[in-house]
C-alpha cells in the first residue's frame, strides 16, 4: 500500500485539495531545462475533452521520467490538467491583462464547461479519470471586467478566473464538481488513488 505520492503540479489549490483528502504528497516539479508549457499546445481541431486528457497524459509521462532521472523513491505520481471550454473553443491561460479581459468578455453572460483530467501511475499501472462541470457567469460590465482583471487573479489560470476567488461574485450557477473547477476533482481523484492501492 503506497504511503505517499508525488504531485506534479505547481498549483497550490491542488496541494490544498490533496491535504483535504489526507493524502501525503511531495512536489515533483519541472526544472528550467523542461518545456512544461510546450506540453499544453493544442492540436488542430482538437476537442476540449481529448485535449485535456492528452495533456494530462503527457504531463504524467514527463513527471515519471523526471522522478527516475532524479533517482527518487518509486512512489506513485499524480498529474492533473484543467481546461475551460466555450463550446469547442478552449480558453487557456491569458498571456496578459488585455487577453484576460478578452476571455472574461467571452464568458460574461454565458455557460461554459470546466474539464479537469486526473491521471496517476504506480509501477506499470496507470489510472485516469475526468470531471466535467458547467459554470454560468452573470453578464459583466466593461468596468466590472476591468476591476476583476486588475486583481491579478487571472494570471496563470485557465479561463482567466479562479472559482475560489473574487470571480465567485459573478458566478450565477455551477453544475458539477466545485473541487474539479478548482483544479482537482475530489471524487474522481479518490477513485484513481484507490485503484492504485491508497486507502482514502
Catalytic residues: 81
d(CA 200, CA 194): 7
Q: Can you tell me whether residue 194 is helix, strand or coil?
A: helix
The number of beta carbons lying within 10 Å of the beta carbon of residue 196 is 18
Place of cell 505520481: 77
Helix (H) or strand (E) holding 132: strand 125-137
DSSP string, 2-54: ---EEE----HHHHHHHHHHT--EEE----TTS-TGGGGPPPTT--HHHHHHH
d(CA 117, CA 129): 6
Amino acid at each position: 500500500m503506497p504511503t505517499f505520492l508525488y504531485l506534479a503540479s505547481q498549483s497550490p489549490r491542488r496541494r490544498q485539495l490533496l491535504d483535504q483528502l489526507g493524502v501525503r504528497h511531495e512536489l515533483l516539479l519541472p526544472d528550467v531545462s523542461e518545456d512544461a508549457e510546450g506540453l499544453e499546445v493544442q492540436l488542430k481541431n482538437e476537442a476540449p475533452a481529448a485535449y485535456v486528457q492528452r495533456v494530462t497524459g503527457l504531463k504524467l509521462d514527463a513527471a515519471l521520467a523526471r522522478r527516475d532521472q532524479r533517482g527518487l523513491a518509486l512512489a506513485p505520481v499524480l498529474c492533473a490538467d484543467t481546461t475551460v471550454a466555450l463550446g469547442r473553443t478552449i480558453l487557456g491561460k491569458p498571456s496578459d491583462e488585455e487577453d484576460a479581459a478578452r476571455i472574461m468578455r467571452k464568458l460574461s453572460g454565458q455557460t461554459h464547461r470546466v474539464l479537469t483530467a486526473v491521471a496517476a501511475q504506480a509501477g506499470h499501472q496507470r489510472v485516469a479519470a475526468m470531471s466535467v462541470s458547467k459554470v454560468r457567469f452573470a453578464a459583466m460590465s466593461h468596468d466590472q471586467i476591468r476591476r476583476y482583471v486588475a486583481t491579478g487573479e487571472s494570471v496563470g489560470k485557465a479561463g482567466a478566473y479562479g472559482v475560489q476567488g473574487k470571480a465567485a461574485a459573478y458566478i450565477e450557477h455551477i453544475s458539477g464538481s466545485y473541487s474539479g473547477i478548482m483544479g482537482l476533482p475530489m471524487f474522481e481523484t479518490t477513485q484513481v488513488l484507490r485503484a492504485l492501492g491508497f486507502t482514502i
